Structure 1
Amino acid sequence: MIAQEFTVDLHAPLAFQVGHLGEAYDQWVHQPIVCKESPRFFKSDFCEFLTRTVWWAIPVVWLPVVCWSISRSVLMGCTFPQVAVMVPSGMFIWTLLEYIIHRFLFHIKTKSYWGNTAHYLIHGCHHKHPMDGLRLVFPPAATAILCIPLWNLSKLVVGPLMAPALFGGELLGYIIYDCTHYYLHHGHPSINSARNLKRYHMNHHFRIQTLGFGVTSSFWDWILETLPPKI
């Protein structure tokens, strides 16, 4: 596509091309290409490798961290009723963070070269190539960076004793989110609730990309008035 006398070559590494689109980037990135092939981002094979993540890496890497984190609260003297409150609370907190990150970071408007480039690598690539199964879940390195403020938030909210259990719940919520997200794109749900959720998310990708920011549910879209109109 041509914007400001620049044409994106889809057969060449994309990461350092998209910044040249300037103000036209937002329109370009929200015109999806529906195919399961993974476009190349970088010339470097190592950098390219870091951008690709199989979905099952998420539970394999992070479920042990969830178990370890919750066990830390127990070993420090947190009671089982307290843990039973903290873990679901953490999962609920994640649903709000999921919404906030998706709405205000992933869908931020950019037009500068580096702004467009960063946005494309963070989320724009997912809207341009929504069926790319290797660029759908968060790379573990990116999640590890996100865990730092999440851990600090947990300590701030409930203190050091219960923070590991709350953090474990938040991380468990993230795992459910990322696995659900992958399933909504590549699964074939037979249960009505799952089918409706898939339809809801596909509506965000292919119909109204400025609404419907919830992935695991539409709860916060309903609360914060970003529900898309019914089809």
Structure 2
Amino acid sequence: MVVAAPKQAPRVYSQSEVQSMASEGRYVYTCNGRVYDVKVEEIMHPGGRDVLESYKGQDISAAFKGQCTVAHLHSRGARALLERYCVGVLEGSEDAAAAGGMALPDADLVDEGKPLLPQVVHLDPDTYLAWVDAPSTGHPVMFDNAFVERMTCTQWYVVPLLWVPIAAALLWRGWARGGVPLVHLPALVAIGVLVWQLIEYSIHRWLFHLKPTTPEGIKWHFMLHGHHHKYPMDFDRLVFPPVPAGLVMALFYNLLCAIVPWGYASALLGGGILGYVVYDTTHWALHSNAWDPFVTQILRTSHMDHHYVNDKVGYGISSTLYDILFGTLSPQVRKVV
């Protein structure tokens, strides 16, 4: 019989040790008797780096619970992220008194040093969903096949470099060869963008957030969207790889050709692709905190609420239009629109 090794008891830190770590430039905090050494380069703090700087070495319990005038109640996602950086307990706290029999929070369900997909399919659905629902950091490998892993990681700039010329060619084709009057193109582009935003919303809400009930369902859920909710700062997986995006565009085009003449279908697809480019680059900017002309505070709040507060709201990425129409607007956004 194999006996599991006992978990290591957490280290007990004195207040002076915490202050010393903070004076060295480390983003160390105490909260509810525990000590956290946060790697700020791994996270995006919506309140900005200045807030993290101002609280270094301090007890953030009240701020984290929204019990002081300059703070707010932090979400379940924020609490899950904070626990990733727990390094011990504070001397004199209740946790310190019980340190001999207490283990630090961990996530031993999977080994992040190994490919994740072969592991998550062995979790039961409820356990899997609870694990995905607790955001983490880093860039763990998803597939055990190195080629597949490489092909599913895409840098954000690939999206505009690949798809903007294709959109321009489709618009030119619709006008020059498809008989679409030039004055109709702006309206067709606008319609294409609005249709894409509906597709974006629908895929996100009714496909990506379909709850899995079988190992095969867990497999597809994790590949399509579960990985992103578990690792929202994995920059290599913030935009769609070209192959699956191309399949969606091909389906979109065939549907359009069945409804309207091919020249108009080309122009509408060109507008839809431009909408897709805005969607993917906006999604990148929302997570990376990079500047983007289409990112507003409303979009940022909506998407952060979707990830860290309630994944049943905020399905629109490039727009909140369909969240408004379908009643899935985040309560925080509803206060300002």
TM-score (norm 1): 0.92
Q: Is the 8 A contact 1:189 1:195 kept in 2?
A: no
Alignment root-mean-square deviation, CA: 1.8
Work out the percentage of aligned pairs sharing the same amino acid. 36
Could you tell me which residue of structure 2 aligns to residue 181 of structure 1?
283
* Partner in structure 1 of residue 306 of structure 2: 204
Aligned to 2:132, which of 29, 40, 43? Answer: 29
Mapped contact 2:282–2:292 kept (Cα < 8 A): no
CA contact (8 A) 1:91 1:171 kept: yes
2:182 to 47, 58, 80: 80
In structure 2, the residue matched to 1:112 is 214
User: Cα–Cα, structure 1 residues 175 and 13, in superposed 2: closer, same or farther, change >3 Å?
Assistant: same
Structure-1 separation of matches of 2:302 and 2:149? 31
Q: What does residue range 1-231 of structure 1 map to in structure 2 within 5 Å?
A: 1=107, 7-24=109-126, 25-33=128-136, 35=137, 37-76=138-177, 77-188=179-290, 194-230=296-332
Offset, 1:139:
0.2
- Residue type at the aligned position of 1:85: A
Give the CA deviation at 1:195: 2.4
Instruction: Give the 3 Å change call, closer, same or farther, for CA 227–132 of structure 1 in structure 2.
Output: same
Aligned to 2:70: none
Structure with max Cα Rg: 2
Pairs aligned (count): 225
What is the alpha-carbon distance in structure 1 between the residues aligned to residue 222 and residue 234 of structure 2?
Answer: 14
| Shift in CA distance, 90/190, structure 1 to aligned 2, threshold 3 Å | closer
Alpha-carbon distance between aligned partners in 1 of 2:294 and 2:249, rounded to the nearest angstrom? 33
C-alpha distance after superposition, 1:23-53 (max 9, x if no partner)? 22222211110x2x31111222211101110
3-state secondary structure, aligned to 2:161: helix
> Does the 8 Å contact 2:285/2:295 carry over to 1?
no
TM-score normalised by length of structure 2 = 0.64
Deviation at 1:191, TM superposition (A): 8.7
Question: Residues 188 and 175 of structure 1: is their aligned pair in 2 closer, same or farther, counting only changes over 3 Å?
Answer: closer
Gaps of 5+ in 1: none
CA separation of 1:29 and 1:220: change in aligned 2, threshold 3 A:
same
Q: Equivalents in 2 of 1:43, 1:112: separation in Å?
A: 21
Q: Shift of residue 108 of structure 1?
A: 0.5
Q: Which structure exhibits the higher relative contact order, with contacts defined as CA atoms closer than 8 Å and separated by 6 or more residues?
A: 1
Q: Which has the higher helix share?
A: 1
Which range moved further: 119-128 or 180-189? 180-189
Letter in 2 for 1:159: P
Q: Give the whole-Å Cα distance in 1 for the aligned partners of 2:283 and 2:244.
A: 17
Residues 190 and 42 from structure 1, CA distance in 2 versus in 1: closer, same or farther, beyond 3 angstroms?
A: closer
